[in-house]
Amino acid sequence: HITLKESGPTLVKPTQTLTVTCALSGLSLSANGVGVGWIRQPPGKALEWLALIYWDDDTYYTPSLKNRLTVTKDTSKNQVVLAMTNMDPVDTATYYCAHRMVEASGAFDVWGQGTMVTVSS
């Protein structure tokens, strides 16, 4: 039974760096094929994929935010961390992490409940 849980600040100031953590249980980040994605949803808007990291440290980023995003993993803690620099009020959103199914064309089969982040001075 895989579970994911996001944690991070609820409020960040403009220009600050956001760091959100995704803790996994029931699955090892070092297991072959494991991938974890970050997706966000601004209030009233559509979901937006942000980043992906795989068991072998391969990473992918959405092109429009690539310069601001860094995703890493800590296999000793079984956690994935997303950092987003130069936060702006438009980055206010619920940030989700999700497990990417193996051999399923990129479907995310388990999601965390999300963590709401507000960007305001």
Partner 1 sequence: QSVLTQPPSVSGAPGQRVTISCTGSSSNIGAGYDVHWYQHLPGTAPKLLIYVNKNRPSGVPDRFSGSKSGTSASLAITGLQADDEANYFCQSFDSSLRGPVFGPGTKLTVL
CB of residue 83 to partner 1, shortest distance in Å: 18
Q: Judged by CB under 8 A, which of 12, 108, 115, 117 binds partner 1?
A: 108
Q: Judged by CB under 8 A, which of 2, 11, 31, 47 binds partner 1?
A: 47
Give the SS3 label for residue 109: strand
Indicate whether 111 belongs to the interface with partner 1 (CB under 8 A): yes
How far apart CA 50 and CA 88 sit, in angstroms, is 15
Indicate whether 106 belongs to the interface with partner 1 (CB under 8 A): yes
The closest of 30, 21, 33, 25 to 81, measured between CA atoms, is 21
Q: Judged by CB under 8 A, which of 27, 48, 83, 85 binds partner 1?
A: 48
- Contacts of residue 111, defined as CB under 8 A and 6 or more positions apart, other chains included, come to 4, 96, 97, 98, 99
**Cβ neighbours of 4 (radius 10 Å):** 23
How far apart CA 77 and CA 91 sit, in angstroms, is 27
Q: Judged by CB under 8 A, which of 98, 115, 117, 119 binds partner 1?
A: 98
CB of residue 101 to partner 1, shortest distance in Å: 7
Indicate whether 45 belongs to the interface with partner 1 (CB under 8 A): yes
Q: Kindly list the residues in this chain that would bind partner 1 in the complex (CB under 8 A).
A: 4, 37, 39, 45-49, 52, 60-63, 96, 98, 101, 104-114
